[in-house]
Each structure stands twice: as C-alpha cells, then as structure tokens.
Amino acid sequence: MLCLRARRQLRRARALYAAGIALVFAAGCTHKEIAPPAAARVQPAACPATAPVLAYHRVSPKITNQMTVTPALFREHMRYLARHGFSTISIDQWCNAVERGAPLPARPVIITFDDGWKDQIVYAAPILREFGFLATFYIYPTVIGSPLQLSWDDVRALAAQGHAIGSHSLSHTERLNRPYAFEDQARYERRLMREVYDSKREIEANISRPVVHFCYPYGYYNTAVMESLERAGYRTAVTVNPQVNSSATPLMTLGRRIVGPAMRDAELAEYLERLPLPVATAVPGDGMICTDRAGRVRVSLSPQGAHLVDARLKLSFRWVDSTWDPRGRTISYALPQPLEPGAYTAELHAWDARSNHYVYAWLFQQDAAARGASVAASSSRRPQ
C-alpha cells in the first residue's frame, strides 16, 4: 500500500526544493541529487505524541563492538521502560496515529533490532516476552542462515511471536544512495532496485507477510532512495539520526538512537525525554550530497515553537563553534576547512528556560568530487 502522507511530503519537498535551490547554492554547496529541504518536515500535527526509537544490534554476553549490549543491560533497559510507563508500539501503530489519528498509549516507544544477529532471538526475544514488549527486526537476506545470523526459521518464529520484520536492504550496501566508482547511473539504479525490491520480495516469500518497513544501511539515504522505497510499497524507513519523532517527522526518515554497551539508565532517559525541534530550513539539506565545498551549516527554526534560550550544533558527534541568533531563530556554523568526503550527521540541540531539551538531527554527505574541487581551487590560488 502506498503511503499517501509520504507521497504528499515528497511532492511538497520537490516544490520547496525548487524554490530553495538558490539558497543552497549561495551557501556554497551544490548537489547532484534532489534532496528534501527540512521545511518539508512541517506537516499538520495529526497526533500530539512523540515516538523515541531505540536501535539495538547485538545482544550478547560477549561485547564485540560498540553496538553490542549484554542481556543484563538489555533487561535493565526494558525494566526502565516498564517502570516509567512506556509501552512499545509497532511502527504500523505510529503510522496509523500520524496518518489517521489512531490512539496511542501514553508513553509510546519503538524498539528495533538491525542486521539479523542470531543472539537477537536467543537473548533479546525472551526478555522482550518477559515484559510483554514487541519490536521490529530489520534483516537483510544475503546473510540469513550464516553462522551467527538468524535463519529463516528464526525469522518466522519472531514474526509468529508478534514482532514485525522489516528490510535492511538485500546486501547491507554502504552505497544505497550513490553509485560506486565503477558504476554508471543506469547500473547503479538497477542495483538500487534489487536492494529495495528484491529484499522485500524475498523476505515476504519467507514469512508470508507484507514487508513495508525499511532500515537504511549505515543510515544513508536521499530523495531518490525514498522514492524507490515508496514505489516498492514501503510505508516507513528508519535512520540513525538521534532525534525523537513527532507527527511532523517524515515517515521515510524516522529518527533512532543507536544503543551501545555503556548506555545506562541516565543516558537512556536523556534520549527518551528529548523533544522534537521543528525547523523551517536546513543547509545542507537532509539527505543532500554536496559536490562542492560546503561553506556553512545553517538552520532556521520554525517561527512558532518554544522560546529557546540556547542552541548548539554537533557535527559528526562533536560540538562545533556555532552561532545562535535567538531573534532570528537561526544557528549557523562556518566550516573552517572543506569537509573530507563522507557522511555527516548534523545535530541541532536547543534548550528552553525550563531546561527541556529539543533535538533536530539530519544527514548530508560530502562527495569525493568535492575534495578534488577544493584542491583545484586552492592550487589555483597559489602564487604563480
């Protein structure tokens, strides 16, 4: 089923993009793919709730990386949620609330698992059952049945327990949103179609249920990917942008907080208590690929909203020396040097007088071609 709200968002995004392109170029950032400006996020509020989304990977007694939690810590998190009145909801429930005003429990939270690790059914699923919680498991078919990974029987068992199964692409590609160097555009688009369509079809064939929720590998996305997902019949997609979601958050870029082995109750609470921060425009925009030097990051907040006393910007998890203009409700940061090629998570944190914490997070990428352009530019300024 096509998501009408997402279609409206994309149509609006294209119109706003056309209007805002001059602003983007003025900021020194060009791009080769259409991306939705943050203004596209502003939608009529259909439901007043917010939905934090927790992103777990491995749940194992042996900590193997920064995305593994022990079963004891996972139980501690579930206990915290239960004691503080949270109820797990499915992503379908969130869609129904946003699109049709369907009722939600008082404190909804969405629990997700990525990458189809075997330990998710061994350790996490029994703990979820203890607390009466349900989750969404994002899997990618090329590893199903491999050592340490879920089998198709495991995936069917999770579905039978009431959990949702989503697609995490076919192969967990790090280039879902752009071609490899050896690919032309046509070849890239064929690969994109396989990742989006074939993963959906293969999972559906194995669990005999529709698959309508997607998880971007590495959190990389753009408008072209979102449109492909929509055409394939996906209803939502989740990112790793660490914000909570409101009814203004596009269903194709739902925020999540990755959970790591050191996340104790205080850090969990800090994320759960965050509030959404509506923005009017962000440059570089959400999902944009910059092919020129990005000179400045700049966000204009919606004129309506909380009275904020401070706002600060984080770029790739580090605070930067940004400038907050409370009158104009803008925050900006002049990059001291061209960004290295890669993906950048940008986070705008703001606080009101009561210390309520608001967050808007988005993703843009600096293309490898930009470094070449920057080097060429600096070379041309050398004394002759």
Per-residue x/- marks for Zn ion, 96-135, CB under 5 A?
------------------xx--------------------
State in angstroms the smallest separation of the CB of 67 from Zn ion. Answer: 9
State in angstroms the smallest separation of the CB of 154 from Zn ion. Answer: 17
State in angstroms the smallest separation of the CB of 115 from Zn ion. Answer: 4
Buried b / exposed e along 263-283 (16+ C-beta atoms within 10 A) = beeeebeebbebbbbbbbbbb
Instruction: Indicate the residue type of 109.
Output: V
Per-residue x/- marks for Zn ion, 45-84, CB under 5 A?
----------------------------------------
Residue 161 burial (CB count, 10 A): 14
Nearer to Zn ion, 104 or 240 (CB): 240
Nearer to Zn ion, 115 or 347 (CB): 115
Nearer to Zn ion, 115 or 292 (CB): 115
State in angstroms the smallest separation of the CB of 174 from Zn ion. Answer: 10
State in angstroms the smallest separation of the CB of 257 from Zn ion. Answer: 15
Residues 232, 2 contacting (CB under 8 angstroms): no
Nearer to Zn ion, 113 or 344 (CB): 113
Residues 367, 291 contacting (CB under 8 angstroms): yes
**3 state SS for 290-353:** ECCCCCEEEEEECCCCCCEEEEEEEECCEECCCEEECCCCEEEEECCCCCCCEEEEEEEEEEEC
State in angstroms the smallest separation of the CB of 110 from Zn ion. Answer: 17
Please tell me the number of Cα atoms within 13 Å of 144 on its side-chain side: 20
Closest to 248 (Cα-Cα) out of 89, 36, 39, 103: 39
Nearer to Zn ion, 133 or 138 (CB): 138
Nearer to Zn ion, 55 or 78 (CB): 55
41 phi/psi in degrees, rounded to 5: -75, -20
Nearest residue relative to Zn ion (C-beta):
114
Site residues (vs Zn ion, CB under 5 A): 114-115
